[in-house]
């Protein structure tokens, strides 16, 4: 059985859960409590020396890291219900939307960075929240401009089927809501997120539905 080492609130693990669900693949979950620091334990470090979730262990023992690389692997191994369009331009568009979130927004707002701000830079809670919201606002403004103006956008981020871009969008919106970011300026993002949330694959992947949800 495929095993996903994750954490209910980790956006990166959330992405992989959506991808597994969209593909209709069964998997076990092995929760790693990031708040308790379990990702730094020796046992987990042998699975991922970087000490990050998610890690996906396939049935044959292959260990995969980095959520976007895992999603692309799943897409190559299980080509039915593709997570990327067929044409190179469409694939580049979807990947660039996914990376706008995964390389520009999420890395600045994850737990280890927020911890550094508080513990090393002695930033107070207000400044930490402002940091969080700044990178959400900057990234979502750019993303909204693209989704609202580019002809490739459909019911979902690209066309009328969910892709890797939606897989990244929904966890990032979940995080933004958790930090009480004002999303009024991003109607296209909100529309697409609502559409995704109607799908069972996205619903079952939500943090609150996971076995380790607090």
Task: Please report, as ranges, the residues that interact with its own copies according to CB under 8 A.
Answer: 49-52, 62, 64-66, 68-70, 72-73, 76-77, 88-89, 91-93, 95-96, 98-100, 102-104, 106-108, 113, 116-117, 120-121, 123, 127, 130-131, 134, 139, 142, 145-146, 149
Residue 126 vs 198, nearer CB to its own copies: 126
CB of 173 to its own copies, least distance (A): 18
Minimum CB separation from its own copies for residue 52, in Å? 8
The residue (of 120 and 200) whose beta carbon lies closer to its own copies is 120
As a whole number of angstroms, the distance between CA 70 and CA 76 comes to 10
In whole angstroms, how close is the CB of 45 to its own copies at the nearest point?
9
Task: Decide whether 99 or 199 has the Cβ nearer to its own copies.
Answer: 99
- Report whether the peptide linkage leading into residue 213 is cis, meaning its omega lies within 30 degrees of zero: no
* Residue closer to its own copies (CB basis): 150 or 177: 150
Q: Minimum distance from CB of 142 to its own copies (Å)?
A: 4
43 or 200: whose CB is closer to its own copies? Answer: 43
Contact 144, 189 (CB under 8 A): yes
φ/ψ of 153, rounded to 5, equals: -70, 140
- Pairing mode of beta strands 3-6, 63-65: unpaired
The terminus-to-terminus CA distance of the chain in angstroms comes to: 25
Q: Beta strands 55-57 and 63-65: pairing type?
A: antiparallel
Contact 53, 7 (CB under 8 A): yes
């Amino acid at each position: 059985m495929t095993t996903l080492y994750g954490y209910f609130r980790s956006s990166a693990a959330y992405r992989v859960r959506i991808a597994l669900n969209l593909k209709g693949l069964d998997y076990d979950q092995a929760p790693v409590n990031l708040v308790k620091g379990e990702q730094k334990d020796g046992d987990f470090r042998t699975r991922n020396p970087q000490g990050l979730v998610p890690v996906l262990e396939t049935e044959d023992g292959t260990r995969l890291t980095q959520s976007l690389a895992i999603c692309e692997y799943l897409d190559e191994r299980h080509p039915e219900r593709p997570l990327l369009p067929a044409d190179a331009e469409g694939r580049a568009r979807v990947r660039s939307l996914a990376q706008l979130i995964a390389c520009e927004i999420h890395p600045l707002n994850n737990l280890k960075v927020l911890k550094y701000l508080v513990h090393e830079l002695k930033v107070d809670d207000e400044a930490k929240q402002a940091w969080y919201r700044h990178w959400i606002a900057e990234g979502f403004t750019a993303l909204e401009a693209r989704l609202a103006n580019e002809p490739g956008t459909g019911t979902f981020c690209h066309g009328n089927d969910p892709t890797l871009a939606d897989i990244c969008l929904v966890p990032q919106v979940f995080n933004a809501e958790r930090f009480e970011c004002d999303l009024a300026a991003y109607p296209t993002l909100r529309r697409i997120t609502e559409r995704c949330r109607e799908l069972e694959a996205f619903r079952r992947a939500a943090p609150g539905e996971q076995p380790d949800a607090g």
